[in-house]
Amino acid sequence: MKLNLKLVTIFIIAILLFSSIYIVYYTTGKDVDKESPTIDNITGDAVGKNGDTVTILVKFSDNIKVTKATLHYKKINDAEWISESILSGRFDFQLNDNEDFQYFVTVDDAAGNGPVGNPSIDGSIFYNIVVADENNNDDEYTRNVFVEEGSFTTCKYCPIVASILYELYTSGDYNFYYVTLIRSNDKAADRLDNEYNLFGLPSVYVDGGYKVLMGGTHEKSEYAQAIRDAEYRPAPDIRLNVTAKYDNNTNKLKSKVFLKNNENNEYDGILKIYLTEKVSRWSGSEGQPYHFGFLDYLRNTEIKLDAGKNISYYDEMELSDLDPENLMVIAVVFNSEKKQGYSDPPANKYPFDAYYADAVEGSELIEGGNLPPTVGLVLPEIGMLHFLGKPIFVSKLIKKTVLIGKTKIIANAEDDSGVDKVEFYINGKLVGEDNQEPFEYSFRKVKLLKRFVRKYTISVIAYDYEGKTGNSSIEVIGFWL
């Protein structure tokens, strides 16, 4: 009995000792979660047309993990809130009637340190999704939105954003014009650096800084929503009409801008007239040309408009070797009232003086004109290591496009009137051409390649049936077997 009593006593002491250690460690130790989750970013108020899909995006975080994220919403005339999980970070509202929505978001973690809400946890404050009334205008005038994309030829994500903007533009669902500010152009670089205090590329400025989207991770819906929000923001009623024509006799561009102030007060602003190439001479890193690439200003001047008055501006420019069928003029009126903008909006860093665009319209010199072909390289793939013509993996060590062994070049060319042929060049020397899709060329003559390791410039030029050309090139490092 004495032995058993000792064992029992030792056992009880051991349990008490380990229990004490457990309690001390887990109640005062570093693993105790007392931090509340946070909602770092949210779409906020939004505007859409009947038939639109409005996407609500929410970013949240926690020191361990957010385990519950809930979207609470209702139509404006409903009494009860509907709750849906938004742990994925997004929720799509389909606007099928003319009723506005209200919503708020709450998040919590496993330890129950929430809920944390934005803009409230109980719906006492909420965000609005407004369905715009398209039938309340007394005329057919539509205020367009102006978008500028900061880009560069070597920017990895710029072509992705450019593709999104072009898709939105050509869809016809959004009323906006846009210009691509490519840093290869000195005046474009000046606009980005000195007027927008550029933080990084790509950067998209909507209506002169009313909305800013920086970086290449934004979804298409975010650009669409930013444009829609800008379209329905309160803005002075400034009417703008621009016409641009090509004078074949003088080889000059001639433009006229008509402005009218429909407000009861004087309007002060800045008129910028952008000259752009519909198919830009500059391409993205993958070889496809940008659209509406900025070339120069036809006019960049301050304006004053008395209440109810109008004014016209006339400009002309010698086109030299520019293709008039590929040119578009975009006139924009910016308000002189200074707002606070940020080129790094999530962190509110890189501040700039924002002057919102109140009116914009574009005019082609020759509507329906023949545009130059677009051409890009499908193979080699930029930044990849290739073996015998096939991309194997990303070339992280050399950080260049690398070719090992016999290589095939494949180009993708398109044109509104049809592609006549594609020429292939190596270091400026014509080595082949193809007039049928797929447009391709394989290295067959090793005597062209005199060194085992060498840098090469591969170029392609596409021709349409009217002789207009488009080109693309890539620099590679070749290891020839």
Are the C-beta atoms of residues 179 and 148 closer than 8 Å to each other? yes
Question: Do 374-479 and 145-237+268-305+319-364 fall under one CATH topology?
Answer: no
Distance CA 112, CA 89 (A): 20
What residues does each domain of the chain span?
Answer: 38-131, 145-237+268-305+319-364, 374-479
Give yes or no for a cis peptide into 324 (omega within 30° of 0). Answer: no
| Residue 384 structure tokens | 């990849």
Tell me the CA distances in angstroms from 378 to 283, 388, 409, 410, 471, one per residue in order: 14, 15, 8, 5, 13
Q: What is the dihedral of CA 122, 124, 130, 135, to 10 degrees?
A: 140
SS3 471: strand
CATH number at 374-479: 2.60.40.10
Considering the domain delimited by 38-131, tell me its CATH architecture: Sandwich (2.60)
pLDDT, residue 446, reads 47
Element (H, E) at 35: none
Tokens 């207009």 map to which residue? 468
Neighbouring C-alpha atoms within 13 Å toward the C-beta of 18: 5
Q: Does domain 145-237+268-305+319-364 have CATH number 3.20.20.10?
A: no
Strand partners, 391: 386
Query: Could you report the average pLDDT of every consecutive run of 10 residues in the chain (481 residues)?
Result: 58 63 52 87 91 92 94 94 95 89 95 94 94 64 93 92 97 96 97 98 98 95 96 95 93 96 97 97 87 98 96 95 94 98 94 98 87 87 83 73 86 88 93 91 60 80 90 84 43
How many helices (H) and strands (E) are present in the chain, helices listed first?
A: 4, 32
Provide the terminal-to-terminal Cα distance of the chain, rounded to the nearest Å.
Answer: 88
Q: Determine the pLDDT at residue 141.
A: 72
CA 278 to chain centre: 18
Instruction: Supply the pLDDT for residue 13.
Output: 64
- What pLDDT, on a 0 to 100 scale, did the predictor assign at position 444? 57
φ and ψ of 479, to 5 deg? -110, 100
So what's the pLDDT on residue 286? 76
Q: What is the pLDDT of residue 154?
A: 87
Cβ partners under 8 Å of residue 93, min gap 6: 48, 53, 54, 55, 56, 73, 101, 129
User: Is the pTM value of this prediction over 0.85?
Assistant: no
